[in-house]
């Protein structure tokens, strides 16, 4: 019986449930010393000098490392999606002559003892800062005479896409409006902060690195490059990772510094980021505003959109700095036709923690802006918002659809498959759209303000450049699957075993999945952009298919039959029509184990196949969120009543796990819609540095949730999978914002920003021009 598509329990859980998880903070090595980073306390300052003498005089201090202790001429950390025109505002491994955000690493202190001692001693490193004026907001950074974060300008890049004739369409449109939409600075905030252990390995004259990372192979490549080591000398291990969401998606300066330190100190060094540090030292996301001008007609057809997005990307361009600014405009049109689009995306530097993609990157803003626009258009023409969506939606015969925009990371945006109308129709049914309208009217007579809102999204998933998958069958019958994808809680051990079991008929319990170790997995990219199933899973599928072919060839020899007369079922190769003549995969593996004489036509010992799958273009998951809310107009508190998601991630390997991804994504979206915001003072001082200032949703914030799946499989991979990690986070803020806007319609309040925390809602009501109807 195939497990593909089955909601099986996860293989990884029993170990974790016994308390045998092994996260980086749990690892202890003999002789280990402890590291702490000296970080800038100024948002912007010249670095005049670092006096390490007091620190080095303390017997507990093992070493202090500053930029001067690193090899000269080290390249700054790259922004790998930079265009030729992108300014080189990149971050050096340690600050050299200037610091540009509070939290920027300036030096590394290594002590004998523990983190307690390290925190005691970190003040011994004296840094001489000469403060400079700082900017923390986009407006301040663009103002004439603004302090410049790097050189000449705070604008690092401007992306521009022009489709159709937007100026003409806007000029001739029967109706137009302009609006500014604002999304706030947020962060992924996994429950596990970052952490690194480095150990110089004398035997390989190299280094072993444990890091809570999503990208062990990229980290290895970075260390190889910076330290000038051979690839064989570097091993990177991602142990159990306690959530990542994009925050652990790049080689960070700390990891490189610690690698250098391992070389010079010669003892294992452990650094565990604490939460206070995490708030300033790990990347942020989402801070953007969009100035839009929209043209539409009396039928609610959106004719043209001009969108100028401005992203406050922080002090340095991180590894994937252009992704959020790009996707936020390039995916604006989502499921809609919109023939005329003029999209500009400005990437702006400020003296704040740098941004890098996290869950839903750019799509969250695109969906929020677009879905608000649709509702405003609906209000403008007096039509039902669902109806306006249907009128603007792409029909089903357009796929594959070239959207006319290149893709920052690869190729071009080409929508692969979908049925947006069916998705919207089903979501409206499940949410009982019409029934809710009646309930809303009744509630209004009691003075209660309910609202319903739609958040439809299309999201690029299954990104390349590639992923590796290897399957190996041992003579014992165990099947080992190696993947370049790297789990931070998604369930790779389970779903990749499901694919393999499906292809080979091997017993699910006999399959082991290996990931996160560059010694064991020869190549890989990592886990992000909802790619582990469509790309990682496809590589495993291809490798398993190759195993199948190998197995049949070997079994042909063993059974003295032609390969075409054989079939692989339930882990055994049988002669068709004569099921008693069969050999198991274990026996087949044993037949070609070293020491055997290989059958004719078989070149390789072991039953082992590797695929490195390079998708030529990526998939596009999509879905429809519908949120219902009640707004307490006296306090501004928004209570979520119900949240419906109809999600299409193509064919699902394990629906239970996909439900978990969607629900978790919705929780993140609720945080973004209602409560999460990272504040900075005008001087660039971070004001949100703990969980009392930055609120993430708790169990009591979750509404009743219904998640349904539909599937229009993608033609891009054999299983039709699209990826499901982010969709829950992408459509939910749009739906919630639209629901709140709907609830506040009687007041003429205009919802244009998130979070819709109580104060914001209160101010919308306070400043609105309409006195709400009371009672009947």
Partner 1 sequence: MTSHDISIMVNGVRRTGSVPARLTLADYLRERLDLTATHLACEHGVCGACTVIVDGETARACLMLTVQADGSEVTTFEGMTKNGELGPIQEGLWTKHGMQCGFCTPGFAMTISELLDENPEPTRDQIVEALGGNLCRCTGYVKIIEAVEEAVAIRGGVT
Partner 2 sequence: MKPPDFDYVAPTSLDDALTALRSDNDAMVLAGGQSLIPLLAFRLAWPTLLVDLARVDQLTGIVEHDDRIVIGSMTRQRQIERDAMIASRCPLLSTCLGYVGHPQIRSRGTIGGSLAHADPAAELPAVVLALDGKVRVVGSSGERTIEAADLFNGFLTTSLRHDEILVDLELPVAPPRAGSAVVEIARRPGDFALCGAVAQVEVSNSNTVVDARLALIGVGDRPVRATAVEEAMVGGASPQEAARFAAVGLHPTDDTHASADYRLHLAEVVSKRVLTKAMENAR
Instruction: Note whether 695 and 675 are within 8 A (CB).
Output: yes
Instruction: Note whether 684 and 102 are within 8 A (CB).
Output: yes
Output the CA angle 707-710-715, nearest 5 degrees: 140
Q: In what order do the strands lie in the sheet with 288-296?
A: 155-163, 340-348, 302-312, 288-296, 175-183
Taking the least distance from each CB to partner 2, the nearer of 562 and 687 is 687
Taking the least distance from each CB to partner 1, the nearer of 13 and 763 is 13
Binder of partner 1 out of 6, 656, 711, 745 (CB under 8 A): 656
CB of 147 to partner 2, least distance (A): 23
The H-or-E segment that residue 14 falls in is helix 13-17
Give the 3-state secondary structure of residue 466.
coil
Of 675-694, binders to partner 1 (CB under 8 A) are: 690-692
Alpha-carbon Rg for the chain, nearest whole angstrom, is 28
Pairwise CA distance, residues 654 & 189, whole Å? 26
**Which phi and psi angles does 539 have, rounded to 5°?**
-60, -40
Of 477-536, binders to partner 1 (CB under 8 A) are: 488-491
491, interface contact from partner 1, partner 2, none, CB < 5-8 Å by kind: partner 1
- 294 vs 166, 300, 370, 403, CA distance in Å? 10, 11, 10, 19
The H-or-E segment that residue 385 falls in is helix 385-392
Instruction: Note whether 311 and 355 are within 8 A (CB).
Output: yes
CB of 772 to partner 2, least distance (A): 15
174, interface contact from partner 2, partner 1, none, CB < 5-8 Å by kind: none
- Torsion angle in degrees (nearest 10) through CA of 498, 500, 502, 503: 160
- By CB under 8 A, residue 430 contacts partner 1: no
Binder of partner 2 out of 693, 715, 767, 770 (CB under 8 A): 693
CB of 188 to partner 1, least distance (A): 8
- By CB under 8 A, residue 274 contacts partner 2: yes
Binder of partner 1 out of 660, 727, 731, 733 (CB under 8 A): 660
190, interface contact from partner 2, partner 1, none, CB < 5-8 Å by kind: partner 1
- By CB under 8 A, residue 768 contacts partner 2: no
- Torsion angle in degrees (nearest 10) through CA of 5, 6, 9, 10: -20
Residue whose tokens read 């663009």:
142
Binder of partner 1 out of 103, 190, 505, 534 (CB under 8 A): 190
Number of residues that bind partner 1 (CB under 8 A): 57
- By CB under 8 A, residue 18 contacts partner 1: yes
19, interface contact from partner 2, partner 1, none, CB < 5-8 Å by kind: partner 1
Output the CA angle 715-545-505, nearest 5 degrees: 110
Of 276-295, binders to partner 2 (CB under 8 A) are: 276
- By CB under 8 A, residue 640 contacts partner 2: no
- By CB under 8 A, residue 115 contacts partner 2: yes
- 722 vs 57, 288, 465, 531, 623, CA distance in Å? 57, 27, 15, 8, 12
Taking the least distance from each CB to partner 1, the nearer of 22 and 180 is 22
Of 572-591, binders to partner 2 (CB under 8 A) are: none
758, interface contact from partner 2, partner 1, none, CB < 5-8 Å by kind: partner 2
The H-or-E segment that residue 590 falls in is helix 585-591
Binder of partner 2 out of 60, 150, 275, 437 (CB under 8 A): 275
Query: Strands 105-111 and 607-613, how do they pair?
Result: unpaired
Instruction: Note whether 399 and 415 are within 8 A (CB).
Output: yes
CB of 27 to partner 1, least distance (A): 9
- By CB under 8 A, residue 240 contacts partner 1: yes
- By CB under 8 A, residue 773 contacts partner 1: no
- By CB under 8 A, residue 668 contacts partner 1: yes
Residue whose tokens read 């809570």:
212
Pairwise CA distance, residues 734 & 729, whole Å? 10
Give residues in contact with partner 2 (CB under 8 A): 114-116, 119-120, 274-276, 634-637, 674-675, 677, 679, 687-688, 690, 692-693, 695, 697-698, 700-701, 757-759, 762-763, 766
Give residues in contact with partner 1 (CB under 8 A): 9-10, 12-14, 16-23, 25-26, 28, 114, 116, 188-193, 240-243, 245, 274-275, 488-491, 656-657, 659-660, 662-668, 690-692, 696-700, 702, 705, 728
């Amino acid at each position: 019986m195939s497990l593909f598509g089955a909601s099986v329990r996860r293989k990884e859980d029993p170990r974790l449930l016994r308390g045998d998880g092994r996260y980086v903070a749990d690892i202890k090595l003999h002789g280990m010393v402890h590291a702490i980073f000296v970080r800038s306390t100024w948002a912007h300052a010249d670095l005049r000098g670092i006096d390490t003498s007091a620190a080095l005089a303390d017997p507990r201090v093992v070493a202090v490392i500053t930029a001067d202790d690193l090899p000269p001429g080290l390249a700054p950390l790259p922004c790998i999606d930079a265009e030729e025109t992108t300014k080189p505002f990149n971050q050096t491994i340690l600050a050299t002559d200037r610091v540009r955000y509070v939290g920027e690493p300036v030096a590394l202190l290594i002590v004998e003892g523990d983190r307690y001692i390290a925190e005691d001693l970190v003040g011994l490193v004296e840094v001489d800062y000469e403060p400079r004026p700082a900017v923390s907001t986009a407006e301040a950074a663009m103002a004439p005479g603004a302090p410049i974060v790097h050189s000449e300008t705070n604008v690092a890049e401007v992306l521009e896409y022009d489709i159709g004739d937007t100026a003409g369409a806007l000029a001739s449109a029967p109706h137009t409006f302009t609006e500014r939409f604002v999304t706030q600075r947020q962060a992924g905030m996994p429950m596990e902060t970052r952490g690194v252990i480095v150990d110089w390995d004398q035997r390989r004259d190299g280094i072993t690195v444990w890091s809570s990372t999503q990208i062990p192979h990229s980290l290895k490549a970075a260390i190889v490059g910076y330290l000038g080591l051979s690839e064989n000398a570097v091993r990177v291990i991602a142990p159990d990772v306690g959530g990542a969401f994009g925050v652990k998606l790049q080689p960070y300066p700390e990891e490189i510094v610690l690698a250098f330190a391992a070389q010079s100190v010669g003892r294992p060094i452990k650094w565990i980021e604490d939460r206070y540090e995490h708030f300033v030292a790990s990347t942020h996301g989402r801070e953007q505003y969009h100035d839009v001008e929209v043209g539409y007609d009396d039928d609610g057809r959106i004719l043209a959109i001009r969108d100028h997005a401005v992203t406050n990307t922080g002090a340095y361009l991180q590894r994937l700095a252009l992704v959020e600014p790009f996707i936020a405009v390039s995916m604006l049109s989502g499921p809609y036709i919109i023939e005329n689009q003029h999209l500009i995306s400005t990437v702006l530097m400020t003296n704040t923690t740098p941004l890098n993609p996290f869950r839903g990157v750019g799509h969250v803003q695109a969906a929020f802006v677009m879905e608000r626009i649709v509702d405003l258009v609906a209000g403008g023409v007096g039509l039902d918002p669902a109806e306006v969506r249907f009128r603007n939606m792409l029909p089903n015969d357009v796929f594959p659809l070239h959207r006319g925009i290149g893709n920052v990371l690869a190729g071009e945006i080409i929508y692969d498959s979908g049925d947006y109308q069916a998705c919207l129709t089903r979501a409206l049914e499940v949410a009982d759209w019409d029934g809710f309208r009646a309930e809303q009217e009744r509630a209004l007579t009691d003075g209660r303000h309910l609202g319903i809102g739609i958040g439809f999204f299309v999201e690029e998933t299954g990104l390349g450049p590639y992923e590796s998958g290897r399957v190996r069958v041992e003579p014992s019958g165990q099947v080992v699957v190696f993947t370049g994808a790297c789990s931070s809680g998604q369930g790779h051990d389970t779903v990749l075993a499901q694919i393999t079991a499906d292809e080979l008929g091997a017993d699910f319990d006999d399959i082991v999945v290996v990931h996160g170790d560059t010694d064991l997995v020869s190549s890989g990219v990592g886990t992000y952009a909802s790619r582990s199933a469509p790309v990682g899973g496809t590589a495993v599928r291809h490798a398993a298919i190759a195993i199948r072919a190998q197995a049949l060839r070997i079994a042909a020899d063993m059974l003295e039959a032609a390969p075409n007369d054989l079939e692989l079922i339930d882990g055994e190769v049988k002669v068709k029509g004569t099921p008693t003549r069969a050999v198991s995969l274990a026996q087949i593996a044993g037949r070609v184990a070293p020491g055997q004489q290989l059958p004719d036509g078989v070149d390789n010992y072991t039953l082992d196949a590797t695929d490195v799958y390079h998708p030529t273009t990526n998939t596009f998951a999509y879905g429809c969120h519908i949120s219902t809310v009640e707004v307490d107009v006296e306090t501004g508190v928004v209570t979520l009543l119900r949240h419906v998601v109809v999600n299409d991630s193509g064919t699902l390997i394990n629906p239970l796990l996909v439900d978990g991804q969607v629900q978790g994504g919705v929780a993140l979206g609720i945080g973004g819609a209602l409560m999460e915001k990272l504040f900075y003072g005008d001087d660039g001082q971070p004001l949100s540095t703990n969980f009392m200032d930055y609120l993430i949703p708790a169990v009591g914030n979750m509404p009743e949730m219904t998640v349904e799946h539909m599937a229009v499989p993608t033609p891009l991979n054999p299983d039709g999978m699209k990826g499901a990690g982010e969709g829950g986070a992408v459509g939910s803020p749009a739906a919630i914002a639209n629901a709140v806007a709907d609830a506040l319609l009687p007041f003429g309040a205009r919802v244009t920003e998130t979070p819709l925390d109580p104060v914001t809602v209160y101010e919308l009501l306070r400043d609105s021009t309409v006195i709400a109807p009371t009672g009947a």
